[in-house]
Amino acid sequence: MQSLISDIDSIDEIEVFGRVKTVQGLLIEVIGPVRELRVGGRVSIETQSGSHLACEIIGFRDGLALCLPFGPVEGVRLGCKAVFAGHDGAVYPHNGWLGRVINAEGQPIDGGAPLMRGTSPYTLRNIPLPAHERARVGGPIDLGVRCLNTFATCCDGQRMGIFAGSGVGKSVLMSMLARNTDVDVSVIGLIGERGREVQEFISEQLGEEGMKKAIVIVATSDESALMRRQAAYLTMTLAEYFRDQGKRVLCMMDSLTRFAMAQREIGLAIGEPPTAKGYPPTVFTELPRLLERAGPGLRNSGSVTGLFTVLVEGDDHNEPIADAVRGILDGHIVMERAIAERGRYPAINVLRSVSRTMPGCVPEDFRPTLTKARELMSVYADMEELIRLGAYRKGSDPKVDRAIALSPALEAFLGQRSDERTNIADGYNLLATILETMGGEA
Ligand SMILES: Nc1ncnc2c1ncn2[C@@H]1O[C@H](COP(=O)(O)OP(=O)(O)O)[C@@H](O)[C@H]1O
Ligand SMILES: [Mg+2]
CA distance 388 to 99: 48
CA distance 358 to 431: 17
Q: Band of the pLDDT at 384, cuts 50, 70, 90?
A: confident
| Ligand at shortest distance from the CA of 166 | 1
Same domain, 126 and 142: yes
Q: Contact at 8 Å (CB) between 193 and 253?
A: no
For the chain, give percent helix, strand, coil, nearest 5. Answer: 40, 25, 35
> Is position 283 within any domain?
yes
Tell me which of 72, 88, 104 is where a domain ends: 88
The residue nearest atom 9 of ligand 1, judged by CA position, is 169
Q: Is the CB of 201 under 6 A from ligand 1?
A: no
Mutate to test the pocket of ligand 1, among 172, 201, 257, 335 (most ligand atoms within 8 A of CB): 172
What pLDDT, on the 0 to 100 scale, is given for residue 439? 55
CATH of the domain at 127: 3.40.50.12240
Mean pLDDT of the 146-155 span:
94
pTM of this structure: 0.91
Read off the pLDDT of residues 36-77 as tens digits, 9 standing for 90 and up: 888 888 899 998 888 899 999 988 999 999 999 999 888 899
Same domain, 160 and 199: yes
Phi, psi of 278 (to 5 degrees): 80, 0
Number of domains in the chain: 3
Least confident of 13-22, 221-230, 278-287, 305-314: 13-22
Query: What is the extent of the structural domain holding 429?
Result: 365-437
* Ligand 2 centroid – CA 174 distance (Å): 9
The residue nearest atom 27 of ligand 1, judged by CA position, is 169
Hey, is 342 helix, strand or coil? coil
Q: Is the CB of 166 under 6 A from ligand 1?
A: yes
CATH of the domain at 53: 2.40.10.170
Instruction: Please provide the distance, in angstroms rounded to a whole number, between the alpha carbons at the two ends of the chain.
Output: 73
Which residue, among 216, 321, 228, has the nearest Cα to 276 in the 3D structure?
A: 321
CA distance 361 to 139: 7
Tell me which of 32, 59, 88 is where a domain ends: 88
CA distance 184 to 18: 47
**Residues 6+ away with beta carbon under 8 Å from 192:** 219, 220, 221, 228, 255, 258, 259, 261, 262
Q: Contact at 8 Å (CB) between 46 and 75?
A: no
Inform me whether the pLDDT recorded for 232 exceeds 70.
Answer: yes
CA distance 312 to 336: 10
Same domain, 186 and 320: yes
What atom of ligand 1 comes closest to residue 254's alpha carbon? 21
Least confident of 10-14, 43-47, 104-108, 338-342: 10-14
**Helices (H), ranges, 270-416:** 281-291, 320-328, 337-341, 367-389, 398-414
Mean pLDDT of the chain: 90
Q: Band of the pLDDT at 441, cuts 50, 70, 90?
A: very low
The residue nearest atom 8 of ligand 1, judged by CA position, is 169
Q: Is the CB of 171 under 6 A from ligand 1?
A: yes
Which residue, among 368, 366, 435, 369, has the nearest Cα to 402 in the 3D structure?
A: 435
> Is position 3 within any domain?
no
Hey, is 150 helix, strand or coil? helix
What pLDDT, on the 0 to 100 scale, is given for residue 388? 81
